[in-house]
């Protein structure tokens, strides 16, 4: 009989999912942004790009600060925010109401879905001239176009959220004596809330786009006006200030809606 080998063969199990790990790389996140700004500033200082076409970040910052101190920037931001707020409130209130009605009542669904399907694909900017014809050059037409842009994502998302409401929960509510409006208020709306907030996020992007477009026609204030006017007189630094403000508005609304989501939907936290 042969002697047994002194070493038994062993295969070590290795973690085969390692390449699937996605570490956060916090430093890279910050470095990416800083790197871009530094590169931009360096390009300007090296004289690679004329300042008229691409003002340096520091120049934009300085200009922004001056405009803030003179009050000019706040006038524009204030005018824009007011239009956004009105358009957002009107558009989302109507959108949620229509979404709930179409999602819950068969009659409203039969009437509403074809109408929404037919009007939803129209680029809302195309309606701006029509709205100006109807409502005049003043604020109402600006607010109306934003409200229209907000209305559709809100109505469609609310509708989808209402349709997704768990039939079991609706039956449970009915089993405990809930009528139609109780079911809407206590089951359907809370069920649709995550979709409604997602709709707000979509609407925020659309609203910003339409705001700038609307402010490029016959207004004397607003960030959109600032961008267009600065471009016309080749004040590129001012133009860039306007763009930075728009980007900040976008980031802020995203952050604010995130906060709103956590406040409105506490049962989702950590679920």
193 is a site residue for another protein (CB under 8 A): yes
Contact call for residues 242 and 223 (beta carbons, < 8 A): yes
What's the min distance (Å) between Cβ of 102 and another protein? 22
Query: Using CA of residue 117, residue 121, residue 126, residue 128, what is the dihedral sign?
Result: positive
CA separation for the pair 80, 257 (Å, rounded): 18
User: Considering only CA atoms, which of 154, 161, 144, 247 is closest in space to residue 202?
Assistant: 154
Residue that has been written with the tokens 């786009």 in this structure: 209
Q: Which two tokens stand for residue 234?
A: 């080749």
Which of 173, 216, 217, 244 is in the footprint of another protein by CB under 8 A? 173
Q: Is residue 221 near another protein by the rule CB under 8 A?
A: no
Rule CB under 8 A: choose which of 171, 180, 254, 262 binds another protein. 171
174 binds another protein (CB under 8 A): yes
Distance CA 165, CA 57 (A): 49
Shortest Å distance, C-beta 259 to another protein: 18
Residue 195 binding another protein, by CB under 8 A? no
Q: How far apart are CA 195 and CA 153, in angstroms?
A: 10
Figure out which of the listed residues 62, 186, 209, 257 binds another protein, where binding follows CB under 8 A.
186
Question: Residue for token digits 């604010």?
Answer: 256
Does 265 interact with another protein (rule: CB under 8 A)?
Answer: yes
We find the least distance from the C-beta atom of residue 240 to another protein, in angstroms, to be 45
State the number of binding residues for another protein (CB under 8 A): 20
- Diameter over CA atoms, the chain: 105
Find the binder of another protein among 131, 132, 187, 197 (CB under 8 A).
187
Applying CB under 8 A, which residues contact another protein?
168-169, 171-178, 182, 186-187, 190, 193, 265-267, 270-271
């Amino acid at each position: 009989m042969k002697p047994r080998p002194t070493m038994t063969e062993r295969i070590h199990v290795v973690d085969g999912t390692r390449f699937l790990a996605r570490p956060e790389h916090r430093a890279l996140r910050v470095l990416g942004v800083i790197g871009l700004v530094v590169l931009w500033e360096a390009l300007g200082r090296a004289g690679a790009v004329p300042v008229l076409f691409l003002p340096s970040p520091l120049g934009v910052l300085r200009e922004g600060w001056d405009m803030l101190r003179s009050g000019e920037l706040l006038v524009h931001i204030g005018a824009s925010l007011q239009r956004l707020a009105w358009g957002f409130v009107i558009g989302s209130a109507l959108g949620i109401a229509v979404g709930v009605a179409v999602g819950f009542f068969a009659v409203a669904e039969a009437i509403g879905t074809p109408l929404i399907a037919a009007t939803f694909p129209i680029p809302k900017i195309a309606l701006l001239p029509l709205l100006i014809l109807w409502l005049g050059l003043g604020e109402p037409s600006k607010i109306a176009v934003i409200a229209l842009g907000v209305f559709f994502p809100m109505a469609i998302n609310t509708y989808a959220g209402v349709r997704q409401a768990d039939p079991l929960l609706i039956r449970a509510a009915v089993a405990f004596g809930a009528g139609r409006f109780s079911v809407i208020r206590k089951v359907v709306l809370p069920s649709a809330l995550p979709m409604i907030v997602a709709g707000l996020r979509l609407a925020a992007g659309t609203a910003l786009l339409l705001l700038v477009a609307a402010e490029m026609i016959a207004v004397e204030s607003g960030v959109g006006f600032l961008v267009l006017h600065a471009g016309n007189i080749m004040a590129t630094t001012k133009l860039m200030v306007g763009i930075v403000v728009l980007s900040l508005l976008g980031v802020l609304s995203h952050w604010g809606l995130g906060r709103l989501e956590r406040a409105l939907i506490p049962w989702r936290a950590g679920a």
